[in-house]
Chain A
Amino acid sequence: MNSRAQKILFAGLLLAGLLALAWDLVPLPDAQNRIANFPTAGLGFSSREMPLTETEKSIYGAAQVIKRVYRANRQNFVVVIIDGAKNRHAVHDPAYCFRGAGWTISGGRPLALPGGAGKIMTLQKGNETREAVFWFSDGRVRYSQVSRCWWQTALRRLTFGASGPDPVLVLVQPVDSGSMDWEQLPTQLPGLFDF
C-alpha cells in the first residue's frame, strides 16, 4: 500500500472515531414516557415488582427494564419490558435467551394483538413444556420479527431517533402453569398495549 492510500485510510479512521464520539454525545430518546403509563394495578389485576438477577443485570446493562408478576383472572404471569434505547443489545431475540437457559424451542405460532401480532413460543426442557409470548412495540405497531427490530433500532441510531419511536421488547410468561389463555391477554391487561 502506498503512502497516499495510507494517509487516506488514516483520515478515514480518524473520521470514524469522531463520528462515534459525536453519536455518543447525542442522547437517543427512550421509551420511558410510554412505559411509565403501564399500570401496576387496576380493575381485575394487581402486580408486584420482581428484582432482576445478577445475570439479568449484567445482560441488560444500561437498558431500562420492568419485571413484574401480574395476577389477573386467577392467572399469574411475569411481564418483562425492555427499553434498549441506552443499550440496544439488551433487546434481542428471546429465543436466544431461552436456548441459553437450556430450553428447546419446539414450536411457534402467531398471536393476534392490538396493532399487529406477537409470537407464542413453545419451550421444552426434558419432560417440561412451557409457553411464552413476545412482541416488539413502538407504541403503534406490534410485531415479532427480530430482524425488523434490528433495522428499526439501527435506523433510529443513524437518524438520532428521528426515524420513529423506540421499539421495546415485551415478554410474557405464565408462572403457575405451562400455558395460559393468550387470546385473553388484551382483555386481562389492556395497559400492556398502550405503549
Chain B
Amino acid sequence: MKSAKQFPLVELAILAFAAWQSHDLLNAWQHSPHDRFAWLALLVWVMPLVIQMLRGEKISASPFMMGAAIISGTLGELTELHFFGHIALALAFAAWSRISWRSLLWLAAAVAWMPVLGWWLANFPGGVVLALRLALALAGTICLWPKIKMQNEK
C-alpha cells in the first residue's frame, strides 16, 4: 500500500460528497420494512477498512475509484436516482482498498446495505432480507480479509 504523503482532503471531500448523495439511506433504514437495520450490513461491510485504520496502516485512495465515485454521484444528482448515490458511496469507500479481484467482489457485496436489494427481495419477509443482507456483507468482508492480513504481514 502506498504511503499517504499529504492529508487526503480531496479524498475525504469526495467521500463526504458521496455520503451526501446517499443521505436518503437514513430514511430508508428507519422506515422501509425491507431496508430496516440494513445499516448493520454497512457496518459489517466496511469492517475491513476500519481494521486497516485501527492497525495504523498508511493507505492511499485509488484515484480511479474516486473518479468513478464522482461520476456516479453526479449521475445520481442529475437523474435524481438514489441508486447512483449509493454506488458512489460504495466506490468512495472501496477506493481506500487496493484494486484486486477480491476487493471487486467486496465492492459488489456493497449491494447488501443498499435499498435496491430490499426491492429485489421484496417478496421475502423483512427478517429473511436482513439475514441475507448480513450474510452477503459478511461474505464480502471475508473476501477482503486475507488481503488485509497479507498486506499487514508484508
Contact = CB atoms under 8 A, between A and B. Distances in A.
Interface stretch (B38-46, B71-79, B106-114, B140-148): B71-79
A3 B6 contact: yes
Contacts of B77: 16, 19-20, 23
B70 to A, nearest CB: 5
Contacts of B82: 89
B134 to A, nearest CB: 20
Contact of A154 (B32, B71, B80, B122): B80
Interface in A129-180: 150, 153-155, 157-158
Contact of B67 (A9, A20, A93, A96): A9
Contacts of A3: 6
Contacts, number: 81
Contacts of B11: 1, 6, 9
A80 interface: no
Interface stretch (B48-56, B58-66, B97-105): B58-66
Interface string B4-24: 111011110110010000001
Interface of A: 1-3, 5-6, 8-10, 12-13, 15-16, 19-20, 23, 88-89, 93, 95-96, 99-100, 105, 150, 153-155, 157-158
16 contacts: A1-B10, A1-B63, A3-B6, A6-B9, A9-B14, A9-B63, A9-B66, A12-B67, A12-B71, A13-B17, A20-B74, A23-B78, A89-B80, A95-B122, A100-B31, A154-B81
Interface of B: 2, 4-6, 8-11, 13-14, 17, 24, 31-34, 60-63, 66-67, 70-71, 73-74, 77-82, 119, 122-123
